[in-house]
C-alpha cells in the first residue's frame, strides 16, 4: 500500500493521463431530446415494451421539472438539446462473443487506462464490466461468476434476460420522480452494470465497472443496479475517466443498491473524470444519484468514494436504513483543485430499530476550488436506539479556495444518539516544518500529510484501488503547493 515519495513526485509532475481520445467509428444519435429519441433509443437497445413505457413516463415527468439550484455550485445552464443521448462504437450485428471480436482500438484504450479486459492479466481477482460511452463493450469472468450463481452483466442485457428482476427492483430505490437528474437518467439511461447475488452467496471476486466517456458532445447516463439477496456479500468498484475537452460534458448516473436480510454490499468509487484545465475550462459535470436501501435486518451497505476529478461533483450516496439492526457507512475523500467544485455528502435515514451509521468525510480544497460537505442524518420515530457518528474534516491548501460544511440533523427519537463533529484547518506549519526538517521537500511533505489526513477512508478501499487513490491525490494536487 505504501507509495514512495518518488512515485508521488513523479505523479505530481504528470498531466491528466487518461485524457486521450480514441478514434473510432461510432453510432451516434444527433443531438436533441424528445420522445422520438427515446423510442429510438429503446429500439436500438432492443428493450422490452415495459422499459419504453418506463422511460417515457420518466421523460414526461422530467419535462415538468426545473433544474435544481440549491447546491453550492455554479455552472451555466445545460442545454439538454445540444447533447447526443447515444453514442456507441460500431460493431458487428451480433455483438462481440469473445474478447477477440472487440474493436482492438477499444482494447487498446482500456489497456492504456490500465484496466485489464484480458482475463489472464495481473488483476485476476477482479471481474470488469467496461462501459464505453453509451454501451458496455465487455464483461470479464462471466463464466466463473455464473458458476457461483452471480449475475454480473450490462444492464441492457439484464433488461432482456432478467426482466422480472428489473421490473421488481429498477426504480424501487431511486424512483424516476426522485429528482431532476434521476428523472432524466430514467428516461435516457443507456448502460451500466447489473449485479444480482443470490441467497447466501459470497461473491468470489471483486466486481468492477469502468466508465469511459470518449465521444464528444455526448452525455453519459449510466444506471447501475445491485441486488444482494439474503446473507450474500459483494464488493463492487467503479472507476471513471474521460478525454480532455474544452466543453463540459454531462454524466448523470443513478445507482441503486438493495440489501436484503444479512446481506453486505460494499461499493467503492474512484472518480477521476476530467476536471477541466487550470483555468476551469472544460471538464465533466458529475451529477449523480446514489442510494442504497438496507431492506433486510442486519444488512449493511458501505459507500467509499474518492472524488478527485470532475469540474463539478454533485452527489450524495445515501442509505435508507429500513431493516432493524442495519448499518450504513459512508467514507469519502473529495479533493478539488483549480476551479473544481464539489458538493457531496450523504444521507442516512434511520427507520429501523438499532440502526447505526457512520460518516467520515474528508474534504481537501486547493487552488480556487469550492468543496462542500452536505449531509443529512434523519432519525425517524420508529428508529429506537439509532446511532450515528459523523466526522467531517476539511483541509485548505491556498488562500483562494473554500471549504464548507452543511450538515442537517433531524431527530425524532429520544433514544437516538447522534454526534456530529467538523473541523476546518490548513496544513499546520509545524507539521510541514517537521517534515522539511527531516529532508522532505515541501511538496512531498504536503502529499504525505494529505495522505495521512485521508488514511481513514483509504483503509476502506480494496487494495488495488487504495494504491490508485493515493496516486490520484498526488496527481490532483499538482501545482497547488508553494
Partner 1 sequence: MTTSTASRYAAEYPLIAAALPGQTLPWLRHLRSAALEQFSLQGFPSPREEEWRYTNVSGIEKKLFSPSLALTADDVDAEWLNEHKIADAWVLVLVNGRFSSELSVLADLPVGVSVMSMADALNTQAEKLEPYLGSAASHLEHGFIAFNAAWFTDGLFVHVPSKLVLERPIQVLHIVTGADVMTVTRSVIIVEESAEAKVIETYISRDGVYAASQSGTDSTAGVANAYLTAAVTEIFVELNADLTLYKMQSESEKAYHFGGSYIIQNRDARFTHHNFAFGGLLSRNDIHVDLGYASECELNGLYLGTKRQHIDNHTRIKHLKAHAISRELYKGVLDGRARGVFQGRVIVAEDAQKTDSQMNNRNLLLSDDAEVDTKPQLEIYADDVKCAHGVTVGQLDEKSIFYLQSRCVDQETARNMLTFAFANEMVDKIKIKSLHDKVLEQVLIRFPQEGVNKEWL
Interface residues with partner 1 (CB under 8 A) are 70, 379, 381, 394, 396-426
In 113-186, beta strands by DSSP E: 126-132, 135-139, 151-154
The residue among 89 and 363 lying less far from partner 1, judged by its C-beta, is: 363
Complex with partner 1: residue 49 or 399, whichever CB lies closer: 399
- Closest separation in Å from C-beta 313 to partner 1: 18
Closest by Cα among 126, 136, 28, 37 to 86? 28
Please report the sign of the dihedral spanned by the C-alpha atoms of residue 17, residue 21, residue 22, residue 28.
positive
What's the angle, vertex CA 340, arms to CA 215 and CA 360, rounded to 5?
Answer: 110
Among candidate residues 330, 393, 387, 390, the one with its CA nearest the CA of residue 364: 393
Residue 161 or 421: the one with the smaller Cβ distance to partner 1 is 421
Minimum gap (Å) between residue 195 Cβ and partner 1: 36
**For partner 1, which is the closer residue by CB, 24 or 409?**
409
CB atoms within 10 A of CB 385: 16
Least distance to partner 1, CB of residue 446, Å: 13
Between CA 61 and CA 177 the distance in angstroms is 7
Give the nearest distance from C-beta 271 to partner 1 in angstroms. 24
Instruction: Please check whether residue 387 is in contact with residue 356, taking contact to mean a CB–CB distance below 8 angstroms.
Output: yes
The contacts of residue 307 (CB under 8 Å, 6+ apart) are 269, 271, 313, 332, 333, 334, 335, 342, 344
CB atoms within 10 A of CB 260: 20
Q: By the 8 A CB rule, do 225 and 215 touch?
A: no
Question: Cα angle vertex 473, ends 360, 340, to 5°?
Answer: 85
Nearer to partner 1, 300 or 374 (CB): 374
**Residue 417 CB, nearest distance to partner 1 (Å)?**
4
Q: Which helix (H) or strand (E) holds 469?
A: helix 463-476
Q: Rounded to the nearest whole angstrom, what is the least distance from the CB of residue 299 to partner 1 in the complex?
A: 24
CB atoms within 10 A of CB 63: 13
Q: How far apart are CA 206 and CA 163, in angstroms?
A: 25
DSSP summary character for residue 381: T
Amino acid at each position: 500500500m505504501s507509495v514512495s515519495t518518488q512515485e508521488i513526485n513523479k505523479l505530481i509532475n504528470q498531466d491528466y493521463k487518461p485524457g486521450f481520445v480514441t478514434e473510432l467509428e461510432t453510432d451516434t444519435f444527433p443531438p436533441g431530446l424528445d420522445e422520438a429519441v427515446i423510442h429510438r433509443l429503446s429500439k436500438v437497445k432492443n428493450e422490452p415494451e415495459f422499459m419504453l413505457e418506463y422511460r417515457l413516463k420518466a421523460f414526461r415527468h422530467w419535462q415538468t421539472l426545473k433544474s435544481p439550484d440549491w447546491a453550492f455550485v455554479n455552472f451555466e445552464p445545460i442545454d439538454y438539446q445540444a447533447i447526443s443521448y447515444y453514442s456507441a462504437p460500431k460493431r458487428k450485428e451480433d455483438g462481440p462473443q469473445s474478447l477477440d471480436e472487440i474493436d482492438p482500438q477499444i482494447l487498446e484504450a482500456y489497456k492504456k487506462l490500465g484496466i485489464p479486459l484480458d482475463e489472464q492479466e495481473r488483476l485476476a481477482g477482479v471481474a470488469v464490466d467496461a462501459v464505453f460511452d453509451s454501451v458496455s463493450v465487455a464483461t470479464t469472468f462471466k463464466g466463473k461468476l455464473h458458476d457461483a450463481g452471480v449475475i454480473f452483466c450490462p444492464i441492457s442485457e439484464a433488461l432482456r434476460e432478467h426482466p422480472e428482476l428489473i421490473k421488481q427492483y429498477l426504480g424501487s430505490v431511486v424512483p424516476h420522480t426522485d429528482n431532476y437528474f434521476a428523472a432524466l437518467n430514467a428516461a435516457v439511461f443507456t448502460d451500466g452494470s447489473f449485479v444480482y447475488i443470490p441467497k447466501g452467496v459470497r461473491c468470489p471476486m471483486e466486481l468492477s465497472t469502468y466508465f469511459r466517456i470518449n465521444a464528444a458532445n455526448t452525455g453519459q447516463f449510466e444506471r447501475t443496479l445491485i441486488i444482494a439477496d439474503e446473507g450474500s456479500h459483494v464488493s463492487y468498484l467503479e472507476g471513471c475517466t474521460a478525454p480532455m475537452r474544452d466543453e463540459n460534458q454531462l454524466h448523470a448516473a443513478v445507482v441503486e443498491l438493495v440489501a436484503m436480510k444479512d446481506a453486505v454490499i460494499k461499493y467503492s468509487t474512484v472518480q477521476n473524470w476530467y476536471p477541466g484545465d487550470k483555468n476551469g475550462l472544460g471538464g465533466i459535470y458529475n451529477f449523480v444519484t446514489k442510494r442504497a436501501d438496507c431492506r433486510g435486518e442486519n444488512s449493511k451497505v458501505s459507500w467509499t468514494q474518492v472524488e478527485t476529478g470532475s469540474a463539478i461533483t454533485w452527489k450524495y450516496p445515501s442509505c435508507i436504513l429500513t431493516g432493524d439492526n442495519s448499518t450504513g457507512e459512508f467514507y469519502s475523500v473529495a479533493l478539488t483543485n483549480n476551479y473544481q467544485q464539489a458538493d457531496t455528502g450523504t444521507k442516512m435515514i434511520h427507520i429501523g430499530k438499532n440502526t447505526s451509521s457512520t460518516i467520515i468525510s474528508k474534504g481537501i480544497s486547493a487552488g480556487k476550488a469550492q468543496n462542500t460537505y452536505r449531509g443529512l442524518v434523519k432519525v425517524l420515530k420508529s428508529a429506537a436506539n439509532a446511532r450515528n457518528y459523523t466526522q467531517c474534516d476539511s483541509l485548505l491548501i491556498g488562500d483562494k479556495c473554500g471549504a464548507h460544511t452543511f450538515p442537517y440533523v433531524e431527530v425524532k427519537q429520544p433514544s437516538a444518539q447522534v454526534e456530529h463533529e467538523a473541523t476546518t484547518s490548513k496544513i499546520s506549519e509545524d507539521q510541514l516544518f517537521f517534515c522539511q526538517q527531516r529532508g522532505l521537500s515541501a511538496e512531498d511533505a504536503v502529499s504525505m500529510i494529505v495522505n495521512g489526513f485521508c488514511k481513514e477512508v483509504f483503509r476502506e478501499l480494496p487494495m488495488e484501488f487504495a494504491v490508485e487513490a493515493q496516486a490520484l491525490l498526488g496527481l490532483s494536487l499538482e501545482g497547488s503547493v508553494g
